[in-house]
Structures are given as C-alpha cells and as structure tokens.
Chains A and B, each alone.
Chain A
Amino acid sequence: MVEIKNTGEHVTADIKGDIDHHNAANIRSEIDAVLENSTPRVLILDFAGVKFMDSSGIGLILGRKRVLDGFGGKLFIKNAVGHAEKIIKMAGLSGLILK
C-alpha cells in the first residue's frame, strides 16, 4: 500500500507493509499513476512503514529512478532502517538516502 502526498514540485510516497515480488507490482502502479500526470522535481520514497523488503524493493527503486531520469527529476529514499537499509546499501544505492 502507498500513501501519496503531491505538492506538484515534490511527491512523497509512504510505502507501507512488505515490499516483495507479490506486492511490488501494486506499489509500482500506484506511484507510476502519479508520475503519469505530474513531473515532480523530487520523488521521495519513505520507507518508515516498510516491514519487510527483499531485492524486489531494489527493482522498484531503480524502476522509479528511471522514470524520473526521463524528465530530469530526482529520487531520494527516506527512513530506511534495518534490513531495508542493509539491502539498499548492498545494492550500492546509499547515495540516494536522504540524511
């Protein structure tokens, strides 16, 4: 499940629950539905509500990053802790984490 806050310039997607292969498709289409109608300067993926994540989460992050790269937007990751953070770092995506 995703809760989206859209100010036009900034879109924040609060992802909730488990990010695995089964759930990723829904999370992806909820975020992409917003990106179809707006081209935000910044998309923030907020992981505070993420209970579990595997490599499907990396596919989700990189896929959205590709969409934003398409119109010159920037993607950032917020509040990733525990295993989500461990996997994001393993994937070499530490540079996307907002401090």
Chain B
Amino acid sequence: MKSKTKSIIKNQFRLVIPSRSQNEAFARVAVSAFASQLDPTIEEINDIKAAVSEAVTNCVVHAYPGDTVGQIEIIARIMSDYRADNLPDNVFYIRIRDKGCGIADIEQAKTPLFTTCAEGERAGLGFAVMESFMDKLKVSSKIGGGTTIIMSKRLVTKQSV
C-alpha cells in the first residue's frame, strides 16, 4: 500500500525579474546557490541549473517574444517529505511563472525537437532537459494568460535540514 506523504516547507525564496536575457545566468545561479543549503552533489546542482536555465530562457524567448519585456516570477522551496516509517526526504521545488503569450498545445510543446522558433536556432529540447534532469515536471498554461512550470527533485542529501 502506498503511504501518505506529508510535505513541510523548510525554507523558500521568491524572485521577480524582468525577462532580459542577462537574467538567465542570474536566475540559474541564484536558484542553485539556494539549493546548496541541501548539500547536493555537483551533478544535482548542475541538473537544477540546466532545468532553471531552460524554463527562464523559454520566458525570455517565447512568453515575451521580440522586444517585449515582462515579469518572470521564480519561487524555490526546500521541502521535507515525511512518509510513514521513513526518515524525511529532502525535495527541492521550483515554480517559474510568466504572464506571457501562453502555450496552445502543451503535449506538443513538450515533444522533443518541437519548436515554434527554428529560425532562432532553437533545438526544441528545453522541456526534454527539464523532464530528464528533474524528477517531476508540471506545465500549465493559458493562451494570453501565461505559463507556469513546476519542477521538483528529490536530493540524495547526506543529512536532513
């Protein structure tokens, strides 16, 4: 039988930045610096960096195309997941939200190599990177209303925080 999980937020931060390409590096470094509280492996930190970079770049390139600049909101959380009879697991949670153009067909957008922007030398692999480097990925979107990406990753941390 699957036991119930109780999640507790141990720490969190919220960051709101304009969708300028200079902020792609800032966002991934800020989130990974926060995640380092969990004493992650280099591999885990690099997975998180790449996933954040993909999600934020999508806001810069697709959500607010051309010269449009809009807001990107990033929330990162350090969570403890308690399951019966187990020590808690450390889970790193990230939510990245824009109020841009939205995605018409999410399943199609997530298909590897699908891109609406081939002329900009996009490979159509952003969602594939997020999906394979994080444990969970949830995308919700509304045309004209924006897109929210929620990702999480269970970290093989040496101690609980």
Interface of A toward B, CB cutoff 8 Å: 18, 20-22, 24, 28, 52-56, 58-60, 62-63, 82-83, 87, 90-91
Q: Does B60 contact A (CB under 8 A)?
A: yes
Q: Is the CB of B24 within 8 A of A21?
A: yes
A58–B61 CB distance below 8 A: no
Q: Are A59 and B61 in contact (CB under 8 A)?
A: no
Q: Are B121 and A54 in contact (CB under 8 A)?
A: no
**C-alpha spacing A97/B58, complex, angstroms:** 27
Contacts of B54 in A (CB 8 A): 54-55
The digit string for B75-97, where 1 denotes a CB below 8 A from any CB of A, is: 00000000000000000000000
Q: Is the CB of A20 within 8 A of B121?
A: no
Determine chain A's interface SS by DSSP, over half rule: helix
A87 contacts which chain B residues (CB < 8 A)?
50, 125, 129
B122 interface residue (CB < 8 Å to A)? yes
Tell whether B132 is near chain A: CB-to-CB under 8 Å: yes
* Cβ–Cβ contact B24 & A59, under 8 A: no
Give chain B's interface residue range (CB within 8 Å of chain A). Answer: 20 to 34
Interface residues in B44-69 by Cβ distance below 8 A to A read 46-47, 49-50, 53-54, 57, 60-61
Point out the residue from A53, A58, A60, A90 that lies within 8 Å of B132, measured CB to CB.
Answer: A90
Point out which of B123, B125, B128 has the most chain A C-beta atoms below 10 A from its C-beta: B123
Q: B50 contacts which chain A residues (CB < 8 A)? A: 52-54, 83, 87
B25 close to chain A: CB less than 8 A: yes
A-B complex: 8 closest residue pairs judged by Cβ atoms: A59-B121, A22-B21, A58-B123, A55-B125, A54-B53, A63-B121, A21-B57, A83-B46
Residues of B within 8 Å of A22, CB to CB, are 21-22, 24-25
Q: B126 within 8 Å of A by Cβ?
A: yes
Q: Cα distance A87–B46 when bound, in Å?
A: 11
